[in-house]
Homo-oligomer: A and B are copies of this chain.
Amino acid sequence: MNNADLTIYTLFICNKFRKKIANLQFNNIKTMPKISNKGKLMPESPIRKLVPYSEIAKKKGHKVYHLNIGQPDIKTPEVAMEAVKNIDLTILEYSHSAGNESYRKKLAAYYTNQGIPVNIEDIIVTTGGSEALMFAMGSTMDQGDEIIIPEPFYANYNGFSTASGVNVIPVISTIDTGFALPAIADFEKLISAKTKAILICNPGNPTGYLYSKEEIMQLAALVKKHDLFLISDEVYREFTYDGDIHYSVMNVPGLEEHAIMIDSVSKRYSMCGARIGCIVSKNKELMTTAMKFAQARLSPPTIEQIASEAALDTPQSYFDEVISEYRERRDTLVEELNKIDGVIVSKPKGAFYCIAQLPIDNADAFAQWLLESYDLNGETVMVAPAAGFYSTPGMGLNQVRIAYVLKKEDLISAVRILKAAIPVYNAMQVKA
């Protein structure tokens, strides 16, 4: 090879590589656009990380009692499912952005009948209580604003707040008062110029606490004093036991401009999959604003609205049976839990959850261990570690949320497993 040949050869080789490199740069070297900070901050479901362990348990052939979920095993009212089967639409059209007028009319009548006098224009039908809360937050809060929430609280409030750019300011309620309303002074200490609303869940998920009329009146005076909104998630309204009466924020005289009620058919009619809820308020400016959010997403689902409208014809006997069933389950659960040494549990007054404090160091590790390494005669239990329901780090570490959406016999079996497991787990901890 002479010099000229060598030069040509070198150029040829170089060119080949240059093309390869250019190709690599365009096609193979991954340039990555960035995820938002908001997206990074979005919390994971506190239960989700346990799901793989529950799958492991099931693969081993173990039966898992799910005390962790809020999906009731109660049948959906037949009137609702019949309405779906009898649907006679040739075009599945958009509904009104505020929801079908016929549904809103019946809803207004239903609330009025429940002692909450509202009109059709005070209601916007939403895709679940979730969307109602997103509309409430979007209409009342800007980036960096603050919402005060008594903790422990429904874990997804964190998600909605993060998605809305809002900061959650928790005020601690404690198991020794049964998660009663914290002192108003505790709220007042936290109120700043950025505070725009107080959010409560009544009756509470995960606490099962039902706020008294007096507690609601205290909150009402507080939000009026500081010009805040009082957002009340009342999706468990029908589920109160022991004759206690639910007192809605919509019942407080003079609170019309401040009160926002969040509601949903999910639990009331065991229609979680319908994703039909609503936002209710007498504040016209708020509702006009929420309506703009509603228009942007066009409308809530049409068929499920038809099911929800029909569900309003559910006979009272359905609720009587369901409530009596839940009351029995609650009593059984609390009675059984109290048989375990060192367990603290406050009797829930409503909804179908309770928080139990267990004689263990770390409910997260315990919940995982129950699924991964423990069984009693081939059966184990899945619980929701309560830390996920607190916003303050370090709170609720030895607590779990238990949903009593299982049959009585299953609740008894599940608690029996917990009772047997705790000493085994603790002995193992001491050894380690």
Binding site for B on A (CB under 8 A): 26-28, 30-40, 42-45, 48, 71-76, 80-81, 84-87, 89-95, 127-128, 130-131, 134, 138-143, 145, 156, 159-160, 163, 165, 196-197, 223-224, 227-229, 253-254, 257-258, 270-275, 283, 285-286, 289-290, 292-293, 295-304, 307
Contacts and interface: CB of A to CB of B under 8 A. Distances in A.
A156 B299 contact: no
Quick one: which of A43, A76, A163 has the most chain B CB within 10 A?
Answer: A163
16 contacts: A31-B258, A33-B229, A36-B141, A36-B196, A39-B138, A71-B94, A75-B90, A76-B89, A76-B90, A81-B87, A93-B273, A130-B297, A143-B165, A156-B298, A275-B301, A303-B303
Quick one: which of A87, A93, A303, A307 has the most chain B CB within 10 A?
Answer: A303
A139 B36 CA distance: 5
A92 B296 contact: no
Contacts of A26: 224, 254
Contact of A304 (B75, B138, B290, B303): B303
Contact of A272 (B35, B298, B304): B298
A42 B89 contact: no
Contacts of A42: 138, 289, 292-293, 296
Given A27-B254, A138-B36, A227-B33, A43 B92 contact: no
Contacts of A76: 89-92
A262 to B, nearest CB: 13
Given A94-B272, A159-B295, A292-B39, A257 B30 contact: yes
A217 to B, nearest CB: 11
A91 B270 CA distance: 7
A93 B131 contact: no
A274 B127 CA distance: 11
Contacts of A274: 92, 301-303
Given A33-B228, A39-B292, 15 more contacts: A32-B285, A33-B197, A34-B196, A36-B141, A36-B196, A81-B89, A81-B90, A85-B85, A85-B86, A92-B271, A92-B274, A93-B272, A127-B275, A273-B302, A303-B304
A271 B35 CA distance: 32
A85 B286 CA distance: 38
Contacts of A303: 84, 273-274, 301, 303-304, 307
B34 A227 contact: yes
Contacts of A163: 138, 293, 296
B87 A128 contact: no
B253 A27 contact: yes
A94 B273 contact: yes
A274 B43 CA distance: 28
A71 B299 CA distance: 12
Nearest to A270: B91
Give 4 closest A-B pairs by Cβ, nearest first: A273-B302, A159-B296, A39-B289, A42-B292
Given A92-B272, A271-B92, A275-B301, A140 B296 contact: no
Contacts of A139: 35-36, 38-39
Contacts of A35: 139-140, 285-286, 289
A71 B159 CA distance: 33
Contacts of A253: 27
